[in-house]
Amino acid sequence: MLGSGRWHAEQAWLGHRSENVLIDVTSGRIEAVTAGVTPAPHDAVVLKGWTVPGFANVHSHAFQRLLRGEIESGGGDFWEWRDRMYSFAEWDPADYFNHGRLVFREMVEAGITAVGEFHYLHGHGNELGEALIDAAREEGIRITLIDACYLRGGLDGRPLGPEQMSFSDGDADSWARRMDQLHESDGARLAAAIHSVRAVDPESMRIVATYARERHFPLHVHLAEQQAEVDECISVEGCTPTELLEREGVLGPDLTAVHAIHLTDHDISLLGANEVSICACSTTERDLADRVGPLHALAAAGCALNVGSDSNALIDMLEEARGLELDQRRATGRRVLHQPEDLLRAATVNGMRALGWESGELKPGMLADFVTLEQPRGPWRELSPSYLVYGFSGRDVTNVVVGGETVVRR
Ligand SMILES: [Zn+2]
């Protein structure tokens, strides 16, 4: 991802709409962005349509793509879904590499230039995580491998179920020793995760958070997706999951809380005051019958929002971005809780930051990750975040550049 070259975009989003934009790239980074260049220089690749920063998919479990269309009958709730999901969690490294390639190819074709893989399949030590890194490199997508510590079956300290055993390293120190054997490279970063307050005890949470902070790794956690987790936390710890993370010193601007649905007003103010990022996964949350989180209140409190495809029931960051808003409309009876430009930032620069990448904006110094979209039907329109987020889908992506290298060209 150290490509060089020049691209000439018919229209581009530079924080505002611009025309005839020349993007100069050297060794994978944007060197210059110049609007109003006509005609296109003969050595530039011409991008017809709209060019915007690459999309960040902050939360993915690649293996769960196998569930797509497989578990939409039979009824049940989140916990019953989870039991069925566990039956898809056994892989050998070669199969997982091939599967990862398939999932990541679908992502880059939808304009995703960086993915955060929230990874807890440790049955082969680091081999499945390394298979994901290799698969991402093959398909030209950036990956942040968010390796999750997962130690117990619930807040009361109950042991792991048989289908959860392979997720665990035994204890947090062993998790850290295994993490030490993973390595970053040009297109691959590492991050740490506390799987959830269910799966990690308070002392181990502190070990994981300290490990991440000593290395400047992003830190992620599944938070308050289900009311049952909140109720169990209150009964065992005497506080909500957010308050528990605060008590243990886990909250901070380097933390991304995924879902963050069942929150009190106090939780929202804690998350905002600590500038925690919030990852909404609307299409998965719909699929799993999750409720709608207080995303508007979180943003108002100071949280940056981003989005993820999570179970990969669908892979489309524009659908996630508008879902973040549209799900709240039905829950609140109010429209336009978030401005379209803020939704676009959620799908681009906010997500890139949560994954540890200097990307998500078309400006000098940023990584050269950008995507071009063009609708095959419909009248010609001027680029706007509103029309992009509400009128387009990942299927309208025609060209994708990651680190100055073209990875999709239609
Ligand atoms: Zn998840």
Give the list of residues 6+ apart from residue 372 with CB closer than 8 angstroms, or none. 9, 47, 48, 49, 50, 51, 52, 397, 398, 399, 400
CA of 225 from ligand 1 middle (Å) equals 9
Residue 228 pLDDT exceeds 90: yes
Confidence of residue 376 (pLDDT cuts 50, 70, 90): confident
Q: Is the dihedral of CA 313, 91, 164, 249 positive or negative?
A: negative
What number is the average pLDDT over the span 403-408?
98
State pLDDT tens for residues 69-90. 988 888 899 999 999 999 899 9
Whole-number Å distance, alpha carbon 67 to ligand 1 midpoint, is 14
The answer for residues whose C-beta is within 8 angstroms of residue 207's C-beta and 6 or more apart is 172, 173, 175, 176
Residue 258 pairs in a beta bridge with 222, 279
Cα–Cα distances in angstroms (integers) from residue 366 to residues 29, 58, 186, 293, 381, in the given order: 6, 18, 15, 32, 27
The rounded distance, in Å, linking the Cα atoms of 125 and 175 is 10
What pLDDT does residue 71 have? 86
Residues 367, 388: Cα–Cα separation, whole Å:
22
User: What's the rounded mean pLDDT across residues 101-129?
Assistant: 98
pLDDT at 379 over 80: no
d(CA 310, ligand 1 centre) in Å: 5
Q: Decide: residue 328, CB within 10 A, 0-12 exposed, 13-18 middle, 19+ buried.
A: buried
Distance 150 CA to ligand 1 centre (A): 13
What torsion, rounded to 10 degrees, do the Cα atoms 79, 84, 89, 90 define? 140
Answer whether residue 191 shows pLDDT above 80: yes
Burial string for 4-40 (b: 16+ CB within 10 Å, else e) reads ebbbbbbbbbbeeebebbbbbbeebbbeebeeebeeb
- Residue 162: partners with Cβ closer than 8 Å, 6 or more residues away: none
Segment 26-57, tens digit of pLDDT:
999 999 999 999 999 999 999 999 999 999 99
**Biggest CA-to-CA distance, the chain:** 68
Tell me the two tokens of residue 334. 């109010």
How remote is the CA of residue 118 from the centroid of ligand 1, in Å? 7
Instruction: Output the pTM of the full model.
Output: 0.98
pLDDT in the model for residue 316: 98
pLDDT in tens, 328-356: 999 999 999 999 999 999 999 999 999 99
DSSP state of 367: B
Three-state DSSP at 119 gives strand
Query: What local confidence, expressed as pLDDT, does residue 283 receive?
Result: 97
285 Cα–ligand 1 center, Å? 10
Helix (H) or strand (E) holding 237: helix 227-237
Dist. CA 175 → ligand 1 center (Å): 19
